[in-house]
Each structure stands twice: as structure tokens, then as C-alpha cells.
């Protein structure tokens, strides 16, 4: 039996990707995560998260652990917000991450998602509607609030997602040449750089144009709504662990 945990990082920020990760580990290896101190990424500092990710990759080579990572870029986020809504976009991303595990690993699976919907069962139902060939043989799927706190396998997914999200923000800082902060609208560094990212004919591609923070800043500067964003479906990164 494989235990799978799925979580995300970057739902609320005004810039950068939304990262969703599914992690698959044999049931008998869960205690290894506990002994290494794996928990919700929010309960760990950057140094500790990075150290655990490096450790995870080394263990994956030994034990054949698997992961699937979806890095959803701002244009797809905007498209989702403006069409089906953010909750359904996250459903799609969770399903895509799970398909990545299913396509490379033979089950059965016990799947736990960190619920991104006030209704946990609805979140589960929407995910399984998007999984090919579900129900997978002898597999189960559940979603719970605070699963990243209560289940080490989901905590591991949250750590991988957070570290990838942080890496993406650092890469954006290097490209733009400005400190971006965490990307959350309340972050002073993010707030201070926002107006510099809307000085062109359209908001910077790293921004989520559909966020009210961006539309308000754009309106204040130009006295009009920001332009509509074009979404190209392939503008997304999907990563799979292939260590056997």
C-alpha cells in the first residue's frame, strides 16, 4: 500500500506560481518521515524545509519514493479565477498531481488531500471526477482540513511545494532585479514593488492580474481596469520523481 499526500503552496499571493505536490511513500516508511521531523511547512523555517527536501530526494533514490509537482503559472491562475474559480482550479491541479503518481507507480493507494474547500467531501468528490479510471483498484481518497498538520505524508507534500514556490520567487527576483518579498499582498516588500510591476502596457507576467490588489493598483494609476490576460495552456511546469 502506498500512502499519498497532496498539498499546495501559494494560493493567496499576488505574484508567482501556485505549486501543488503529490508525494507517494510505502505505508511502512511513514515512520521515517516522523523520525526526520517532517511536519506542516508553516511550522518549519526556510533552512529546515530546504534540509528536509534535500533529505527527501536522497531517500527517494534509496527507497523509490515518488512525487509529482505541478507549478501553475499566473496566467493559468487568472484564467481559472475568471472562468471556473480558484477552488475548481485547485481541484484540477490536485487531480493532475495524482495522475502523475498513478501513471508511474503501481497501487493500491491511500490518498489524503489537504482540503482547499470548506466542504471536505465536495473537494474529494470533485477530484475523483477528474481522475481517469477511478476508482483505482483497492484505493481510497479523502480530504481533510489541516491534513498537512495531521499527516506526515501531507506535511512532506507541503514542504516540497513551499520550497519550490520559494525557489520560483527567488528566480523571479533575479530576473526582475527587485526584492519581491513573499508575494502576499500584506508583505511590505511586495506592496512596495507592486507599482513598479504595473508601469508597462500591461501588468508584469509574474503578477496575478485577476487579484483585486493588482486591479486596484492598476485602476489607481491608469483610471481603468487592467487588460484581459491571454492564457496559453502549455505555460505550466510538471515535474516527476524518476528515481527507482
d(CA 20, CA 14): 17
Domains and CATH numbers, the chain: 2-170 (3.30.420.10)
Q: Is 106 exposed, middle or buried (0-12, 13-18, 19+ CB in 10 A)?
A: exposed
The mean of the pLDDT values for the chain is 93
For residue 42, give the DSSP letter: G
When pLDDT is cut at 50, 70 and 90, the band that residue 243 belongs to is: very low
Angle at alpha carbon of residue 16, lines to 159 and 25, rounded to 5°: 25
Long-range contacts: 226-232, Cβ < 8 Å, 24+?
A: 226/198, 226/202, 227/201, 227/202, 229/75, 229/78, 229/79, 230/75, 231/75, 231/76, 231/78, 231/79, 232/75
Give pLDDT tens digits for 157-195.
999 999 999 999 999 999 999 999 999 999 999 999 998
Q: pTM for the full model?
A: 0.92
CA 160 distance to own-chain centroid: 9
Confirm if 184 and 12 have CB atoms less than 8 A apart.
Answer: yes
pLDDT at 51 over 80: yes
Tell me the percentage of the chain whose pLDDT exceeds 90: 87
Long-range contacts: 30-39, Cβ < 8 Å, 24+?
A: 30/3, 30/152, 30/153, 32/59, 33/152, 33/153, 33/155, 33/156, 34/152, 38/152, 38/155, 38/156, 38/159, 39/149, 39/152, 39/155
Contact residues for 222 (Cβ-Cβ < 8 A; gap 6+): none
Give pLDDT tens digits for 75-120.
999 999 999 999 999 999 999 999 999 988 888 999 999 999 999 9
d(CA 83, CA 86): 9
Angle at alpha carbon of residue 91, lines to 90 and 92, rounded to 5°: 90
pLDDT at 208 over 90: yes
Amino acid at each position: 500500500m502506498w500512502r499519498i499526500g497532496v498539498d499546495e503552496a501559494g494560493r493567496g499571493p499576488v505574484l508567482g506560481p501556485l505549486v501543488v505536490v503529490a508525494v507517494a511513500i510505502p505505508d511502512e516508511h511513514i515512520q521515517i518521515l516522523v523520525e526526520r521531523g517532517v511536519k506542516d511547512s508553516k511550522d518549519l523555517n526556510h533552512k529546515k524545509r530546504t534540509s528536509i527536501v534535500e533529505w527527501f530526494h536522497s531517500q527517494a533514490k534509496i527507497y523509490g519514493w515518488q512525487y509529482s509537482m505541478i507549478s501553475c503559472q499566473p496566467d493559468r491562475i487568472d484564467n481559472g479565477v475568471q472562468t471556473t474559480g480558484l477552488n475548481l482550479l485547485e481541484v484540477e491541479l490536485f487531480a493532475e498531481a495524482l495522475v502523475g503518481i498513478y501513471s508511474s507507480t503501481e497501487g493500491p493507494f491511500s490518498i489524503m488531500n489537504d482540503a482547499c474547500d470548506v466542504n471536505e467531501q465536495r473537494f474529494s468528490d470533485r477530484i475523483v471526477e477528474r481522475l481517469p479510471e477511478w476508482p483505482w483498484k483497492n484505493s481510497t481518497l479523502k480530504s481533510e482540513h489541516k491534513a498537512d498538520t495531521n499527516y506526515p505524508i501531507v506535511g512532506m507534500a507541503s514542504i516540497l511545494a513551499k520550497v519550490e514556490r520559494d525557489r520560483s520567487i527567488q528566480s523571479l527576483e533575479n530576473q526582475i532585479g527587485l526584492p519581491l518579498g513573499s508575494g502576499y499582498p500584506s508583505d511590505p516588500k511586495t506592496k512596495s514593488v507592486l507599482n513598479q510591476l504595473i508601469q508597462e502596457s500591461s501588468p508584469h507576467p509574474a503578477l496575478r492580474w485577476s487579484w483585486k490588489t493588482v486591479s486596484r493598483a492598476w485602476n489607481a494609476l491608469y483610471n481603468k481596469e487592467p487588460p484581459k490576460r491571454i492564457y496559453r495552456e502549455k505555460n505550466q511546469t510538471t515535474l516527476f520523481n524518476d528515481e527507482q
